[in-house]
Amino acid sequence: MTSTERLRFGVDLVTFFHPGFWGVENYDGIIAFARSQPRAFWDKILDAVEASGVTGVELTFSPFNWQDATKTYGSVEAFAAELSRRGLTLASGFFAELEAAGDFTEASAQAAIIDKAEKYAEFLKACGSDIMVIGAPLRQTLGAQPVRFFDFEQARKIADFLNRLGAALHAKGVRLALHTEAHSIFAASRDVDLLMLLTDPAYLHMCPDTAHIIVAGSDPLQVVERHHERMIIAHWKDALGPMPADTPIDEHIHERHHPYFCGFGLGRVDWPGWIRLLRDRGYKGWAILELDAAPDPVADIANGLKLVRQALLPTYR
């Protein structure tokens, strides 16, 4: 088996959330285009993914989610056919409901999340994927009042729900992977260690994001070394360094992340060390070359893929 067969490269569709790619002035313009011309919107994305050279797609939030794709092409089967005729595979689907759920420790809220996730899982399986990536709840801004500690008791409640959600998805044939989103309760090394300890490895897996772990002030190689057996998919992305500890964590936190992300190979990620770690631990699976809102995504993805193939894959063999 060659290195390119053991590592399969894809892209998260958040990469295409830049106004410049669409020729509009702002994010509202992207939404308006997606709503008014859904077929042109989705065809442009899938054509761009094909042109970039990767073979996998990770769906994400609206207007890049599974409901939008299904509605646009008329059925799950029709969307799968659009992927197939471009030589593409549905690698995974990002489930953003948990972060937006508020107090999901309530039984009714948990039941609603599980119901949505199960419907998503059925779509993923129908398209040939068996991985759902989920974002964790956000932390609280440092010093905010009243203080909410992410302590053992709070982590235990969240871990219990993640275990049950993972078990529900397993019954649908889909594996659940928790994403290391900066400023969530699952990014900094201590937080990752805590939730990995409290969750069942049979039902909850991990999707490390190299850039987000750095933005959170930790080392992605050290984090993944400790939990490599839980990794079933990974987001490969670079970052300039950690964000200030007092960064406000609110509805704009994802926009605040953008200046800290950078082109592949231009930041703090030790890519030679990363590929050696994956090689030595026998990792096989999807590598999602994610770029948050790239102005020229086709060129950026293609350049990242070229760097990987020329500089890293010879080490992975």
- CATH number of the CATH domain containing 43: 3.20.20.150
Mean pLDDT of 283-308: 90
Domain-embedded: residue 39: yes
Q: What is the pLDDT of residue 267?
A: 95
What pLDDT shows up at residue 108? 84
Q: How confident is the model at residue 317 (pLDDT cuts 50, 70, 90)?
A: confident
Q: Per-residue pLDDT tens for 121-152?
A: 999 999 999 999 999 999 999 999 999 999 99
- In a domain, residue 159? The reply is yes
The helix/strand/coil state of 170 is helix
Q: Residue 219: which of 276, 283, 274 has the closest Cα?
A: 274
Strand order in the sheet with 205-207: 205-207, 175-179, 131-135, 89-95, 56-59, 7-12, 285-289, 233-236
Stretch 157-183: mean pLDDT, rounded?
Answer: 97
Q: State the pLDDT confidence band at 101, using cuts at 50, 70 and 90.
A: low
Strands (DSSP E) contained in the chain are 7-12, 56-59, 89-95, 131-135, 175-179, 205-207, 233-236, 238-239, 261-262, 285-289
Which three-class secondary structure state does DSSP give residue 94?
A: strand
Rounded to an integer, what distance in angstroms lies between the CA atom of residue 219 and that of residue 231?
A: 16
Closest alpha carbon to 241 in 264, 271, 262: 262
Q: What is the predicted pLDDT for the residue at 90?
A: 98
Confidence of residue 193 (pLDDT cuts 50, 70, 90): very high
For the residues 240-267, what does the mean pLDDT come to? 93
The per-residue pLDDT of the chain, averaged, comes to 94
- The answer to whether the CB of 228 falls within 8 A of the CB of 282 is no
Bridge partners (DSSP) of residue 234 are 287
pLDDT given for residue 2 in this prediction: 65
pLDDT above 80 (res 176): yes
Least confident among 24-33, 34-43, 98-107, 190-199: 98-107
Note whether residue 131 is domain-resident. Answer: yes
3-state secondary structure of 261: strand
Residue 214 lies in a domain: yes
CA distance 256 to 250: 10
Looking at the 3D structure of the chain, how many domains does it have? 1
Q: Is position 307 within any domain?
A: no
Residue 274: pLDDT over 70: yes
Question: What is the chain's alpha carbon radius of gyration, rounded to the nearest angstrom?
Answer: 19
The mean pLDDT value for 165-185 works out to 97
| Burial class for 180, CB neighbours closer than 10 Å (0-12, 13-18, 19+) | buried
Split at pLDDT 50, 70, 90, the class of 93 is very high
Question: What residue numbers bound the domain in which 200 lies?
Answer: 7-297
164: pLDDT strictly greater than 70 = yes
The confidence score (pLDDT) of residue 4 equals 60
Kindly report which listed range (3-7, 17-21, 312-316) carries the lowest average pLDDT score. 3-7
Residue 316 inside a domain? The answer is no
pLDDT of residue 60: 95
Q: Has residue 190 been placed in a domain?
A: yes
Helix (H) or strand (E) holding 16: none
Confidence of residue 67 (pLDDT cuts 50, 70, 90): very high
Whether 243 and 260 have beta carbons less than 8 Å apart is answered as yes
pTM above 0.85, yes or no: yes
- Whether 2 is in a domain gets the answer no
